[in-house]
Structure 1
Amino acid sequence: MALPVVDTEYVKEVDKARRDLRALIASRNCAPIMLRLAYLLSLSLFVSVEIARNENEGKWSGPNGSIRSEEEYSHGSNSGLKKAIDWCEEVKSKRPKITYADLYQLAGVVAVEVTGGPTIDFVPGRKDSIVSPKEGRLPDAKQGAPHLRDIFYRMGLSDKDIVALSGGHTLGRAHPERSGFDGPWTMEPLKFDNSYFVELLKGESEGLLQLPTDKALLDDPKFGHYVELYAKDEDAFFRDYAESHKKLSELGFAPRSPGSKVIVKDGTILAQSAVGVAVAAAVVILSYFYEVRRKMK
């Protein structure tokens, strides 16, 4: 499918969809599953070049809205996400102009923000597709640091990104019927903060979950550095998380032009540009009159 035209009207639809999502997520307390929806769509994007060639896929699917197809939401790793897809459809029905790909990623951004997390820059313009990725591309929660690096490095993400994005576990809980694991990672699973890292450093606590991939963050010195930093400095976590989340949500996606990125700021940058032009013009005019007066003397 073609890329959407990210014009003023499209940006207005994104802003309206953002407000709709805030209301929906607040009323249904569904931030965790909305964040999971956005995460899994991005994480299913990349495979190694060798696998891509062997599968003869031709191109990667990416966070393109294809999860709305039964083929994809029926994947075992996507268990439970049909509920989030249906809730997003309530917004889509009111804002048909916005693509599913943008809507699902926007839902993840809003989920973080409405639960107290950082503001994440969102650039629209993702195209939709009905081509689903093959199953089995997501991280295995039963494995350790080498596996995490294998998955995330091939996406161009760093150790810092891996740890910061793991902090998303501060929202929600694991469900045995979906993952085989049970329980929340933090005492307040509907609040986005740095408590995931605080709890991780405490060690295992009754009623709280720590997956092998969580514990791997402590076992690895490079990962452990960021765990300790984020546990004591929530501002640092929020700053890095916002950056890493944006990178994850834009895997396989690039705005068509610089103008696409400018428009998303609700006209702020455009206004700033206009002011800049006006200032430049004023400088030129004043310089002209100065030269005229100087010559007349």
Structure 2
Amino acid sequence: MSPHHDYDAVRKDIAALLHMPDYDDGSAGPVFVRLAWHSSGTYDAETDTGGSNGAGMRYEAEGGDPANAGLQYGRAFLEPIKKKYPWITYSDLWTLAGVVAIKEMGGPDIPWQGGRTDLVDDSKVPPRGRLPDGAQGADHLRFIFYRMGFNDQEIVALTGGHNLGRCHGDRSGFEGPWVTNPTRFSNSFFKLLLQLDWQPRKMRSGNTQFVYVDPDAEEGEEPLMMLPTDMALASDPAFAPWVHRYAEDKELFFDHFSKVFAKLIELGIQRDAQGNVTNTDGSLGGYVSAPKKSDTPTGPPRARL
């Protein structure tokens, strides 16, 4: 990682990019958070494969995973920044975009260091199936997150990212936002999960989600939703205490979320005493920045989450 790399300038340009009136709820922030999350959540601690280093989503083997449907928009939104700063790696750009988006949407500061390299080919792209399936329950969550090295408390804290964004029926088979303000980071997800009367609803996709229909809602107003994995947090004996604590204490949630998101985006990253990444790829090694890709979003039509 060279000292001339101006990450602060990149941060400012990412922040300026967030406001998008014609996309979802008017912000690219939630899709940037999901991009950082999914690019990191492929890590397997036992084999030390996957994770944010490499930006494997540039290749069909990972980018085409149905779990990543919709993320082609987030990747394409960031292409003007890649063009302006061709030295930055995609793996740094995607993780930094998530960190900046969380802060700009009212969330906590999240420690971030640059220096990730981009894969030079798809030989190290992790296999599909490592990301969460929202249609499952507590056992599935543990299977996915324990593989990465997270514990029960960290699983609940990370799921608090559902304070942001929404599901899309044409991507995941689920539909709607979790909270009333999906572009503002808060602990509302946990409060609503515990306070509202969630009723199962079968979707056209065949999935079952849980919805709350406000009796005082105006005609055509979109109901809030929860995934089966969300509901599992409130009923599981080990997960539920953390749901209650985060619903009651926003500062505690922000503190724990900051720590666990920082851990997520560093999974598999090896650094020396100066903080320089020592992971390499192929024969090139060092800080390898992949060439800029297309500004046009292309990707899988469906996703699990």
Q: Same fold (TM over 0.5)?
A: yes
Partners of 1:144 and 1:176 lie apart in 2 by 20
Q: Distance in 2 between matches of 1:33 and 1:140?
A: 17
The answer (yes or no) to whether the contact 2:163–2:186 under 8 Å persists in 1 is yes
Which sits farther off after the overlay, 162-171 or 37-46?
A: 37-46
Take 1:259 and 1:30, find their aligned partners in 2: how far apart are those partners?
A: 30
**TM-score normalised to structure 2 length:** 0.76
Q: Which residue among 9, 17, 25 is the counterpart of 1:16?
A: 9
Compare 40-49 and 82-91 and name the one that shifted more.
40-49
State the AA in 2 paired with 1:124.
G
The residue that corresponds to 1:253 in the other structure is 269
Task: Name 1:179's counterpart in structure 2.
Answer: 172
Higher CA-based Rg: 1
Structure (1/2) with the larger helix percentage: 1
Aligned to 1:232: 248
Deviation of 1:48 (Å): 5.5
Contact 1:26 1:114 in 2 (8 A): no
Does residue 61 of the first structure (1) align with residue 50 of the second (2)?
A: yes
Contact 2:49–2:126 (CA<8 Å) still a contact in 1?
yes
**Take 1:111 and 1:219, find their aligned partners in 2: how far apart are those partners?**
30
The CA distance in 2 between the partners of 1:153 and 1:71, in whole Å, is 23
Residue 110 of structure 1 is aligned with which of 83, 100, 104?
Answer: 100
Query: Quick one: percent identity of the two aligned structures?
Result: 43
Distance in 2, matches of 1:48 and 1:185, equals 33
Aligned partner letter, 2:50: S
Q: Aligned residue for 1:120?
A: 110
Aligned residues between the structures = 245
Match of 2:183 among 165, 182, 190: 190
1:219 aligns with 2:240: no
* Mapped pair 1:139 → 2:153: no
The CA deviation at 1:229 is 0.7
Q: Is the 8 A contact 1:141 1:211 kept in 2?
A: yes
- Tell me what 1:77 maps to: 67
C-alpha contact 1:115 1:191 (8 A) present in aligned 2: yes
Equivalent position amino acid for 1:210 in 2? M
- The C-alpha deviation readout for 1:190-211, integer Å capped at 9, x for no partner, is 1100000011001322211111
How many angstroms apart in 2 are the aligned matches of 1:103 and 1:216? Answer: 33
Q: Which residue of the partner structure matches residue 42 of structure 1?
A: 40
Give, as a single letter, the amino acid of the residue that structure 2 aligns with 1:84. Answer: G
Contact 1:123 1:255 in 2 (8 A): no
What residue ranges of structure 1 are gaps of 5+ in the alignment? 50-58, 262-297
Q: Does 1:210 align with 2:199?
A: no
- Partner residue of 1:285? none
Q: In 1, distance between residues paired with 2:72 and 2:28?
A: 13
